[in-house]
Structure 1
Amino acid sequence: MAASIEALLEEISGVEHPLEELQCLKTALLSLPLSGLREAVNGQRLNLVFSLLNSDNSAQVELCIDILERILTALSPVHVFQNYRAELQAGLTHPNDRVKTLTLTQMGRVVENPDTVAEILNNGDILKAVILCIKEEKMAVAKQAIQFISKLSDSKPGLDKLFHTDLLQVMKDVMATSDIIRYRIYELVVEISSISPISLGYCANSGLIAQLLSELTGDDVLIRATAIEMVTTLAQSQHGRQYLAQQGIMDKISNMIRGAETDSFSSLYLPGLVKFFGNLAVMDSPQQVCEAYPAFQSKVFEMALDPDPALIGVALDTLGLLGSTVEGKQVLQKSGEKFKSVLLRVSRLAQSGATELRVRSLDAISQILILQAEQQTEDLLALTESWFHHLSNQPMDMIRNISTQPFPELHCGALRVFTAIASQPWGQRLMISNPGFMEFILDRSTGHSKEAKDAKFDLVGALVCSSTAAEIMGSQHFIRLKTYLREGPYYVTAVAAVGTEGAE
């Protein structure tokens, strides 16, 4: 087959418009597995195929891209870079977006290889061309370029090249293209900063993070909202949070939450501010965050009672985040009647809101109520039980009614609430005393989707794994639950066919 590939390449070289020959080559390449392809093309010069990319004939260009994608994937990144460096560099500025994407994909393989990354670092022209690809209109091209630069930054030599040479100015020039491109660079810088404290130091010293942080208080509310998202991502790492605290960003965002009351456009960026502190609370300490920045917790409660669906949704998600931890539950409990009012609103939304808000309400309820076995102290069990009963006069019936409605996402959301209380003794007592509830759990005919079957299986698993369930539920029910668990989520009862032939 190697001879055949070589012959096909020779045929292409002797034709002015080689569409048919290119198609034959493509077919031959696709017929070979990658292992055989590597052997067949090794040693073949592909310069001709690369040169045919420079054509106004779009069909010819597309065929060449398909051929090169197939061949280059089979070759080692060392071979590709050492033999086709000039072609790769040319591909980065090609007018066809697929050519750029193909080239950047290969460059990504090259930068990941320890044998070629040093050569890449010594080629400033290629690196500059990659950075310029970040401003391409086609997002697939820009994304590949961003991934390449991010991989390059995994090492100190890469960081030095990117931030201590003229490439930094190239990045800043690219940023000046438009708001959208500027935020692509910010996204890249935040990604690099998250790798380690050292990489954060490079990014901070470049001035790019300071520029991002200044956008938080800019005049354009949409840009402000995007900046908050970026800063929230930066806060995902511990060193990122420490840096933001040192820069006074937590206080600045808290003040922005306070000032939002007098800003008619605050609904555009307020959800981002609340998400920032919600993530911060989960990663650090709900109590410390809520005590240090009381405006955050007050705003979450206020948003939960707001008529604006966008604000309600974020409030629900944040309440779920806070309530998912023991410390967060205690923080919510300390707010007393305020939280009970919010909990009542969440319950009403779960029953009669828009479908998306109903699902988010159910998820918030399940997070607020859940307690792991090791967390089930007398006080916390009493707390979750009181919250469950605050949802409705008949909370079991309320959640069960939601689970029977013809919306799979609501069915699963309701099952997650039952799963949250299934490991708690008071929850088990409610289940066994609720008429028909055990039959509802064990009935495999309800919920036909995979998600519904998985959700029901999780509920059964929570009951079976609880140390108190056998005594509270009774041996008969407990044995049936264990059988359900053993059979798995997708078990179907076999029905024997009854023959009628010859019955006369």
Structure 2
Amino acid sequence: MAASIESLLEEISSIEDPIEELQNLKTALLSIPVSALRDSVSGRRLDVIFSLLNTDDREQTELCVDILDRILKALSPVHLAQNCRVELQGGLTHPNETVKILALTQIGRMVDHPDAVTEILKNHDILREVIHCISGEKIAVAKELMVDISSVSAVSLGYCANSSFISQLLGELTGDDILIRATAIEMVTSLAHSQHGRQYLAQQGIMDKISNMIRGADTDPFSSLYLPGLVKFFGNLAIMDSPQQVCETYPAFQNKVFEMALDPDPAMIGVALDTLGLLGSTVEGKQVLQKTGEKFKAVLLRMNQLANSGATELRVRSLEAISQLLTLQPEQQTEDLLALTESWLHLLSNHPMDMICNISTQPFPELHCGALRIFTAIATQPWGQKLMISTPGFMEFIVDRSTGKTKEAKDAKFELVGALVSSSTAVDILGSQHYLRLKTYLREGPYYVSAVAAVSTEGAE
């Protein structure tokens, strides 16, 4: 088939009216899987197809676009950047929109690739052409690609800022169309992932604008469509910069997260749980939450309620948030922080170990794994180990391979055992006998099946 494609390309290059041959080439390419196509076209020159784009014949143009789309998908972004950059740049100025979209889509693949994007950044002309092309009204992939380009470097953001696109995007944040507003928030959040993007947004007053939108959400009947996006924006901002600074500078964000955690709307609760887990995954975030006193205590009680009796998805998200809140790396385990995480666990329930154990024994793999991750979170902390050894049957539960049959459950149990074995206090608190059993479990691996168990299973069959 590779020989057939090569002969078709040679034939196309030598005739004046190549429509029929282009159709044959398209058919031949569609008959080959993309994975196989990669090997047969990676070294082939595509100049002839690119050159045939220079025509007023719409059918010829569309056939060439279909052929190039199929072939270029099979090539790596690095190969495109090194061998097709000039041709794709030319496609950005083509009068046919489908050619522009082809070029933008492939350049977008290069922008997303860490090695290929350097080739793009070396060429300021292609950046300018992309931005000029995106200013067109009909380009379908324009906005997403513009955000990607803006996020690459301060230089590329500067080009985008000089166009009308960024100001249009920021204007859509407070526009009348609620759905467009939600999309704009999502794209601004992507732009904020880079430091230069955050600096630019701060200079434009976007953080203040989004904070004001959160404040005004209570009086907007359609706020549920975009409010989760606003909260996610500040949640990501807090982790990338400083939880304390973000929460103190924009108190509306933190207040709204607590309010959403107590909201009856599952969509609001879910976003609040994810955001609280994200904030509480850092030491600074834990300290910020602790300072809120009774407000956070109410949220912890809500988490306990959701983990025990909420809808399955909310139970899973609640368990995940709790595990993030309780996690402390060994180097973070100061006396104050250990006291903080211990107090949080006991605020969840009067009998927290029983509560989590009950969840772990329910016949839902995602809940079982969520409960194990909470045990893993406290497994490296001395107070957590003391709770485990004082809970009847708990150490036997840990090394019991009959619980949790799925791969995810076995991996989660293995992670818990590994956390205990790696702790410097485990031997003293758990005792040498339990510690040796845990080390044996770790040495055997997550999927070990004893010979006795194997024989028993075989007999049962």
**Pairwise TM-score range, normalised by the shorter structure:** 0.7 to 0.9
Query: How far, CA to CA, are the matches of 2:221 and 2:416 in structure 1?
Result: 45
Contact in 2 for aligned 1:324/1:370 (Cα 8 Å): yes
* Structure 2 residue 117 is the aligned partner of structure 1 residue 155: no
Contact in 2 for aligned 1:78/1:115 (Cα 8 Å): no
Query: How far, CA to CA, are the matches of 1:419 and 1:455 in structure 2?
Result: 8
Q: Which has the larger radius of gyration?
A: 1
Query: How far, CA to CA, are the matches of 1:92 and 1:247 in structure 2?
Result: 46
Counterpart of 1:443 (choices 374, 379, 400) is: 400
Query: How far, CA to CA, are the matches of 1:333 and 1:420 in structure 2?
Result: 18
Relative to structure 1, the CA distance from residue 412 to residue 72 in structure 2 (aligned partners, 3 Å threshold; closer, same or farther) is: closer
Counterpart of 2:257 (choices 300, 323, 330) is: 300
Match of 1:12 in 2: none
Query: How far, CA to CA, are the matches of 1:119 and 1:294 in structure 2?
Result: 51
* Structure 2 residue 101 is the aligned partner of structure 1 residue 133: yes
* Structure 2 residue 198 is the aligned partner of structure 1 residue 241: yes
Letter of the 1:85 counterpart: F
Counterpart of 1:361 (choices 303, 318, 336) is: 318
Relative to structure 1, the CA distance from residue 307 to residue 142 in structure 2 (aligned partners, 3 Å threshold; closer, same or farther) is: farther
Relative to structure 1, the CA distance from residue 111 to residue 63 in structure 2 (aligned partners, 3 Å threshold; closer, same or farther) is: closer
Query: How far, CA to CA, are the matches of 1:286 and 1:110 in structure 2?
Result: 38
Query: How far, CA to CA, are the matches of 1:149 and 1:476 in structure 2?
Result: 55
Query: How far, CA to CA, are the matches of 2:94 and 2:32 in structure 1?
Result: 23
Contact in 2 for aligned 1:277/1:296 (Cα 8 Å): yes
Match of 1:185 in 2: 142
Query: How far, CA to CA, are the matches of 2:368 and 2:436 in structure 1?
Result: 25
Query: How far, CA to CA, are the matches of 1:71 and 1:331 in structure 2?
Result: 54
1:108 to partner: Cα distance: 6.5
Match of 1:17 in 2: none
Query: How far, CA to CA, are the matches of 1:213 and 1:61 in structure 2?
Result: 42
Query: How far, CA to CA, are the matches of 1:198 and 1:394 in structure 2?
Result: 56
Letter of the 2:409 counterpart: A
Structure 2 counterparts to residues 175-324 of structure 1, below 5 A: 175-176=137-138, 181=140, 184-324=141-281
Counterpart of 2:69 (choices 86, 98, 101) is: 101
* Structure 2 residue 82 is the aligned partner of structure 1 residue 114: yes
Relative to structure 1, the CA distance from residue 282 to residue 263 in structure 2 (aligned partners, 3 Å threshold; closer, same or farther) is: same
1:176 to partner: Cα distance: 4.2
Contact in 1 for aligned 2:65/2:99 (Cα 8 Å): no
* Structure 2 residue 282 is the aligned partner of structure 1 residue 325: yes
Relative to structure 1, the CA distance from residue 64 to residue 229 in structure 2 (aligned partners, 3 Å threshold; closer, same or farther) is: closer
* Structure 2 residue 419 is the aligned partner of structure 1 residue 457: no
Q: Kindly, what percent of the aligned residue pairs are identical?
A: 62
Letter of the 2:135 counterpart: K
Helix, strand or coil at the partner of 2:169: helix
Match of 2:50 in 1: 85
Relative to structure 1, the CA distance from residue 158 to residue 53 in structure 2 (aligned partners, 3 Å threshold; closer, same or farther) is: farther
* Structure 2 residue 135 is the aligned partner of structure 1 residue 172: yes
Counterpart of 1:374 (choices 331, 341, 362) is: 331
* Structure 2 residue 362 is the aligned partner of structure 1 residue 405: yes
1:85 to partner: Cα distance: 2.8
1:133 to partner: Cα distance: 2.6
* Structure 2 residue 454 is the aligned partner of structure 1 residue 492: no
Query: How far, CA to CA, are the matches of 1:172 and 1:430 in structure 2?
Result: 62
* Structure 2 residue 379 is the aligned partner of structure 1 residue 422: yes
Query: How far, CA to CA, are the matches of 1:89 and 1:105 in structure 2?
Result: 22
Letter of the 2:38 counterpart: T
Report the TM-score, using the length of structure 1 for normalisation.
Answer: 0.80
Cα deviations across residues 447-473 of structure 1 (Å, max 9, x unaligned)? 111110000000000100001011000
Contact in 1 for aligned 2:410/2:447 (Cα 8 Å): yes
1:80 to partner: Cα distance: 1.8
Counterpart of 1:65 (choices 19, 30, 53) is: 30
Contact in 1 for aligned 2:50/2:64 (Cα 8 Å): no
Relative to structure 1, the CA distance from residue 70 to residue 230 in structure 2 (aligned partners, 3 Å threshold; closer, same or farther) is: closer
Relative to structure 1, the CA distance from residue 111 to residue 494 in structure 2 (aligned partners, 3 Å threshold; closer, same or farther) is: closer
Relative to structure 1, the CA distance from residue 396 to residue 156 in structure 2 (aligned partners, 3 Å threshold; closer, same or farther) is: closer
Report the TM-score, using the length of structure 2 for normalisation.
Answer: 0.87
Query: How far, CA to CA, are the matches of 1:96 and 1:43 in structure 2?
Result: 16
Letter of the 1:240 counterpart: G
Contact in 2 for aligned 1:422/1:462 (Cα 8 Å): yes
Relative to structure 1, the CA distance from residue 338 to residue 290 in structure 2 (aligned partners, 3 Å threshold; closer, same or farther) is: same
1:129 to partner: Cα distance: 5.4
Helix, strand or coil at the partner of 2:239: helix
Relative to structure 1, the CA distance from residue 46 to residue 61 in structure 2 (aligned partners, 3 Å threshold; closer, same or farther) is: closer
Superposition RMSD in Å: 3.1
Match of 2:459 in 1: none
Query: How far, CA to CA, are the matches of 2:69 and 2:8 in structure 1?
Result: 21
Contact in 1 for aligned 2:111/2:148 (Cα 8 Å): no
Query: How far, CA to CA, are the matches of 1:103 and 1:126 in structure 2?
Result: 19
Query: How far, CA to CA, are the matches of 2:65 and 2:367 in structure 1?
Result: 42
1:160 to partner: Cα distance: 2.2
Contact in 1 for aligned 2:414/2:446 (Cα 8 Å): yes
1:494 to partner: Cα distance: 1.2
In the alignment, structure 1 segments of 5+ residues that lack a partner are 1-28, 30-36, 135-140, 499-504
Contact in 1 for aligned 2:62/2:98 (Cα 8 Å): no
Contact in 2 for aligned 1:404/1:411 (Cα 8 Å): yes
Relative to structure 1, the CA distance from residue 408 to residue 142 in structure 2 (aligned partners, 3 Å threshold; closer, same or farther) is: farther
Relative to structure 1, the CA distance from residue 76 to residue 289 in structure 2 (aligned partners, 3 Å threshold; closer, same or farther) is: same
